[in-house]
């Protein structure tokens, strides 16, 4: 049963593997990371103990090093760093039987106690259960209790409809052989001797594909399952019997009930337009809306506006007509807006995050890199109740108040980057401060109380900070598989544990911002895209496009792209959609151009992108100056063109899917298109 991930891993391992367990003699990185040379030297000595079959010594060395240096990083290949804890666990899982037995004599008691403690606390909050299971997996992966913790994590993920995370945890319970075994040697975790039935696990993986509606993958996996486990019996989805028969029946039912995805609506009606006010004397930036139910929200960095998505009327207002004065649509504003003293290098971007009935916004000046003489830099996060609270402020966090005991907090206070990532328990956001060096952190707050749960350093950039010029940036986190991923646009991509902030792995690359005398970053917005266990990343400080295994940090492929990419739009079947001056399709498995004619767009500047496109039902809606071009995501074929300038008097801009309508934002202007049907 060979998935896309398995194929990617095979491709990643074509080059010879590192002979050493821990890489040495590494080149200068663009970001200073939290490395520990003593831990590296200690772990490098494992090979000597293994060669002499001193298994008790190996076990003690791994356990003590993990205990003392868990959060430090070690390099296992050029450009690939993992936490000491992860490295120790991956090496323990690869030990031969005598070594594994010796290791378990030292760790099994603790891991079993952790597991028993969870089981004894009936009624424990599901998020606390999850954190406890993850503790076993990430601190005692090779223990005899970790397979049960992995199974619980997979089951809970599946119940939450997080099928990609469920697949990741279930796959850790399958034996590693061939290329996967080699990848495990490079940090891909596989439990050494799971007690779970392999047929049952593979049946659950097919169920993941079925619920993800990936019919092609379901067919391939079922054919492989029939060869491997044709007569195996078990229980799946509440039914017992021969697993292949149960799965075949479920697949037939799904096909019979499935409805085809709708086509993109005709978008031939101009529904409404509004011009938002600019912030206090600042340059107009990009204002990107978000839709929650039937309400469209937008921010200019000082205020948050709410409109009825269909009519444009102010939400929660007595005004019956579309607002001539957008102030009627304001649901929250800064108490004391200020304008920066010095100019800002870069283009401000104002976007929002929605989760459930909560809306989150980053407000204040767009400065994230503060000049030494700038005194008017301010940023804050707000959480608004957009359900029954009709936009009421729930909490507010001032970036300057995050760590008042820090001696640098006065001269160089923290600034929030983009809007946070959020779930029902936590709110995570990237922080930056620029003096004496440019430093990035990730902070986590309680979603209900705004209490700071943790604040962890990501790294410090090697490039010197320009002290006379303000700058702006807009880094956003991508959350999946109990991790937060950030592409720093400064030579590193980082994975962090959402429960405690511990760094899991770092992937580095050559940054143009370091090797160039200019800044080296281009305009755009490219947070990592997560799909089926893989991160797809196009950092703004390089022309590289990369695919990275999300759980381990293993680089699956990378390519220098000929068109400087500004946006990564998403996945259409087996094709990654990216956008620079033109629109491109990229094969997920190889990173090569996927469309026969390579791209949509041409060298004529009038044919270049005029804003960020959007994926709708597997089709890409891509804007140039005069048209919206509808492109089949899997083939690149142009399906139709919508002449918005000629027929509607509008021009291209950043697109946002509003369900049955489409929003176009151009600076401070927002227009919504719909269909006459």
431 contacts 417 by C-beta, under 8 angstroms: yes
Distance of CA 25 to the CA centre of its chain: 31
- Alpha-carbon gap, residue 581 to 603, rounded angstroms: 9
Q: Which two tokens stand for residue 43?
A: 């772990």
- Structure confidence at residue 182 (pLDDT): 60
Chain segment 482-533, per-residue pLDDT in tens? 999 999 999 999 999 999 999 999 999 998 865 443 455 678 899 999 999 9
Locus of tokens 């697993």: 243
Locus of tokens 């980053």: 362
Give the rounded percent of residues in the chain with a pLDDT score beyond 70.
86
The mean of the pLDDT values for the chain is 86
DSSP class per residue in 93-159 = HTS-HHHHHHHHHHHHHHHHHHHHHHHHSTT--HHHHHHHHHHHHHH-TTSTTHHHHHHHHHHHHHH
Which has more pLDDT, 318 or 21?
318
Chain segment 342-355, per-residue pLDDT in tens? 888 888 899 999 99
Distance of CA 309 to the CA centre of its chain: 27
Residue 3 has pLDDT above 50, yes or no: yes
Locus of tokens 């139709």: 640
End-to-end CA, the chain: 45
Residue 139 has pLDDT above 70, yes or no: yes
Locus of tokens 């960095």: 301
591 contacts 559 by C-beta, under 8 angstroms: yes
- Structure confidence at residue 325 (pLDDT): 76
- Structure confidence at residue 17 (pLDDT): 41
Q: Of the given ranges (9-18, 258-267, 414-423), which has the lowest mean pLDDT?
A: 9-18
- Structure confidence at residue 19 (pLDDT): 39
- Alpha-carbon gap, residue 163 to 133, rounded angstroms: 18
- Alpha-carbon gap, residue 211 to 237, rounded angstroms: 12
368 contacts 378 by C-beta, under 8 angstroms: no
Q: For residue 648, how many other CB atoms are within 10 A of its CB?
A: 18
- In Å, how far are 327, 337, 389, 412 from 303, measured between CA atoms? 9, 10, 17, 25
According to DSSP, the β-strands at 421-422 and 415-416 are: unpaired
- Alpha-carbon gap, residue 437 to 636, rounded angstroms: 44
- Alpha-carbon gap, residue 609 to 427, rounded angstroms: 33
Domains of the chain: 197-257 (no CATH), 260-285+563-677 (2.130.10.10)
- At 398, give phi and psi (nearest 5°): -90, 125
- In Å, how far are 226, 233, 274, 466, 579 from 308, measured between CA atoms? 52, 53, 12, 43, 30
- In Å, how far are 306, 386, 389, 407 from 293, measured between CA atoms? 12, 10, 15, 45
Query: What is the mean pLDDT of the segment spanning 272-299?
Result: 84
Residue 378 has pLDDT above 50, yes or no: yes
- Structure confidence at residue 517 (pLDDT): 37
Distance of CA 675 to the CA centre of its chain: 33
- Alpha-carbon gap, residue 268 to 550, rounded angstroms: 40
Q: Which two tokens stand for residue 485?
A: 């991923």
- Structure confidence at residue 113 (pLDDT): 93
- In Å, how far are 299, 337, 379 from 364, measured between CA atoms? 11, 7, 4
- Alpha-carbon gap, residue 615 to 160, rounded angstroms: 24
296 contacts 307 by C-beta, under 8 angstroms: yes
- Structure confidence at residue 515 (pLDDT): 47
Chain segment 75-116, per-residue pLDDT in tens? 888 899 999 999 899 889 989 999 999 999 999 999 999 999
Query: What is the mean pLDDT of the segment spanning 260-269?
Result: 65
């Amino acid at each position: 049963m060979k998935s896309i991930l398995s194929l990617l891993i095979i491709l990643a391992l074509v080059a010879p593997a590192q002979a050493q367990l821990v890489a040495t003699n590494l080149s200068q990185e663009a970001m200073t990371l939290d490395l520990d040379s003593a831990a590296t030297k200690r772990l490098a000595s494992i090979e000597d103990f293994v060669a002499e079959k001193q298994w008790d010594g190996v076990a003690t060395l791994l356990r003590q090093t993990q205990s003392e240096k868990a959060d430090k990083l070690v390099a296992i290949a050029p450009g690939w760093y993992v936490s000491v804890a992860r490295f120790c666990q991956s090496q323990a899982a690869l030990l031969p039987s005598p070594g594994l037995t010796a290791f378990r004599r030292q760790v099994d008691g603790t891991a079993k106690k952790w597991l028993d403690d969870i089981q004894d606390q009936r009624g424990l909050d599901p998020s606390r259960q999850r954190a406890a299971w993850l503790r076993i997996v990430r601190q005692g992966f090779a223990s005899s209790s970790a397979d049960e913790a992995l199974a619980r994590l997979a089951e809970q993920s599946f119940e939450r409809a997080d099928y990609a995370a469920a697949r990741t945890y279930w796959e850790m319970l399958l034996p590693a052989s061939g290329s996967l075994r080699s990848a495990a040697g490079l940090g891909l975790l596989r439990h050494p001797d799971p007690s779970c039935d392999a047929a049952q696990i593979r049946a659950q993986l097919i169920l993941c594909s079925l619920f993800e509606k990936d019919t092609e993958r379901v067919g391939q996996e079922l054919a492989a399952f029939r060869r491997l486990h044709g007569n195996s019996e078990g229980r799946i989805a509440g039914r017992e019997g021969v697993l292949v028969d149960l799965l075949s029946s479920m697949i037939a039912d799904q096909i019979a009930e499935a409805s085809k995805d709708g086509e993109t609506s005709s978008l031939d009606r101009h529904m409404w337009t509004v011009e938002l006010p600019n912030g206090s004397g600042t340059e107009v930036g990009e204002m990107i809306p978000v839709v929650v139910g039937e309400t469209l929200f937008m921010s200019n960095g000082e205020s948050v506006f709410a409109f009825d998505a269909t009519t444009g009327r102010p939400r929660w207002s007595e005004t019956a007509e579309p607002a001539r004065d957008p102030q009627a649509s304001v649901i929250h504003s800064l108490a004391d807006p200020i304008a920066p003293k010095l100019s800002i290098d870069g283009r401000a971007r104002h976007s929002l995050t929605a989760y459930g009935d909560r809306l989150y916004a980053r407000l204040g000046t767009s400065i994230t890199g503060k000049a030494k003489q700038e005194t008017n830099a301010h940023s804050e996060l707000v959480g608004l109740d957009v359900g029954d609270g009709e936009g009421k402020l729930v909490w507010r966090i001032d970036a300057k108040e995050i760590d008042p005991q820090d001696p640098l907090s006065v001269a160089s206070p923290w600034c929030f980057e983009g809007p946070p990532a959020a779930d029902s328990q936590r709110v995570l956001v990237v922080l930056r401060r620029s003096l004496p060096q440019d430093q990035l952190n990730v902070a986590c707050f309680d979603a209900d109380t705004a209490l700071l749960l943790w604040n962890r350093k990501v790294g410090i950039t090697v490039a010197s900070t320009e002290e006379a010029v303000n700058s702006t940036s807009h880094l956003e986190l991508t959350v999946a598989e109990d991790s937060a991923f950030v592409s720093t646009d400064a030579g590193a991509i980082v994975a962090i544990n959402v429960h405690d902030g511990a760094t899991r792995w770092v992937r580095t690359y050559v940054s143009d911002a370091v090797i160039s005398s200019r800044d080296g970053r281009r305009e755009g917005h490219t947070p990592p895209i997560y799909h089926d266990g893989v991160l797809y990343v196009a950092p703004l400080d390089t022309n590289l496009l990369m695919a990275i295994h999300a759980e381990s940090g293993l680089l699956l492929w990378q390519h220098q792209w000929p068109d400087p990419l500004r946006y990564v739009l998403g996945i259409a079947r087996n094709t990654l959609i990216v956008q620079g001056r033109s629109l491109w399709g990229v094969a997920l498995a190889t990173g090569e151009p996927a469309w026969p004619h390579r791209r949509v767009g041409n060298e004529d500047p009038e044919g270049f992108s005029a804003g960020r496109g959007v994926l709708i039902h597997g089709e890409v809606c891509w804007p140039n100056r005069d048209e919206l071009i509808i492109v089949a995501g899997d083939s690149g074929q142009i399906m139709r063109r919508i002449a918005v300038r000629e027929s509607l008097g509008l021009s291209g801009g950043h697109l946002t899917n509003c369900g049955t309508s489409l929003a176009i934002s151009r600076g401070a202007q927002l227009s919504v298109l719909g269909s006459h049907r």
